[in-house]
Amino acid sequence: MLALTTQFEQELATLQPHDFWQDILPASAVIDPPFQDRYPAQLSDGRLLFLPIRPLKGTNYAIASLILNQASFSVECALADDLAKRLQEFRPDVIVGMPTLGLSLARAVAERLGHGRYIALGTSKKFWYDEALSVPLNSITSPGAAKRLYLDPRMLPLLKSTRACLIDDVISSGASISAGLDLLKLVGVVPCAVGAAMLQTRRWSDRVSQRQSGAKIPVVGAFDTPLLVQSQEGWVSSPAAEI
């Protein structure tokens, strides 16, 4: 484990809940398992983002958490930079954003890819919306909340004969991103890729695979985080893909 020798490193050792998601750290700040209160998520260039570890009630498991609208602007920019870089190879013509926390990320990624706009999906039905252009939406972070995911019918021309990329902030259980895939399927669109700031465990994999038609849709994250299991010394990566 990294020895804490500088004032900066001492401050990292005493992160408060509101301090998380505020700084991208150098690769040298890495910590080794078992983890106590934070997980070191690694970007493609080796830099780190410490994420709070949240135990899952009634289990010996935990997950690393990211709440994008509580992140600093610099962290949000770094994640958008990284995700846009990873998505370049898929050559998307249009970025489609998932509500709510995926929208700011989708907008930032679209800008970095040189796009002049993006398509925002929503959960608020405007009076000109068509119910036929909507699907049920469930989220692991909002259990029991009955919502629908809508596509503004005025955006349909932007999806014709294009390579669309669907973006959310976090893909965890796969419930939200699957709704996005279902909605795009209603209008005959199979995304060229799906992107997120964080791919949280692999619980989403089977659910997303069920939505695919033909060729597999690539799923790309700025970083991945494993399912964590409690040991005597702290939290370690679990060999289990899901709980």
Domain co-membership, 79 together with 172: yes
pLDDT tens-digit readout, 27-76: 999 999 999 999 999 999 999 999 999 999 999 999 999 999 999 999 99
Structural domain containing residue 21? 7-66+226-235
214-243 mean pLDDT: 88
The answer as to whether 1 is a domain residue is no
* pLDDT value for 7: 47
CATH number for the domain including 157? 3.40.50.2020
Same domain, 55 and 120: no
Are residues 127 and 174 both part of a single domain? yes
Specify whether 144 is located in the same domain as 219: yes
Query: Are 84 and 62 in the same domain?
Result: no
Q: How many alpha carbons fall within 13 Å on the CB side of residue 56? A: 16
- Residue 145 pLDDT: 63
Residue 15 counted as domain residue: yes
**Total domain count, the chain:** 2
Across all residues in the chain, what is the average pLDDT?
90
Residues 43 and 134 in one domain: no
Residue 240 lies in a domain: no
Within this chain, do residues 221 and 231 fall inside the same structural domain, yes or no? Answer: no
Indicate whether 210 and 159 sit together in one domain. Answer: yes
Q: Are residues 48 and 114 in the same domain?
A: no
pLDDT band for position 215 (cuts 50, 70, 90): low
In a domain, 211, yes or no: yes
Residues 88 and 127 in one domain: yes
Q: Quick one: 156 and 205 in the same domain?
A: yes
Better-predicted residue by pLDDT, 156 or 9: 156
Per-residue model confidence as pLDDT tens digits over 64-122: 999 999 999 999 999 999 999 999 999 999 999 999 999 999 999 999 999 999 999 99
Residue 3 confidence (pLDDT) above 80? no
pLDDT class of 146 with cuts at 50, 70, 90: confident
Q: Is the pLDDT of residue 142 over 70?
A: no
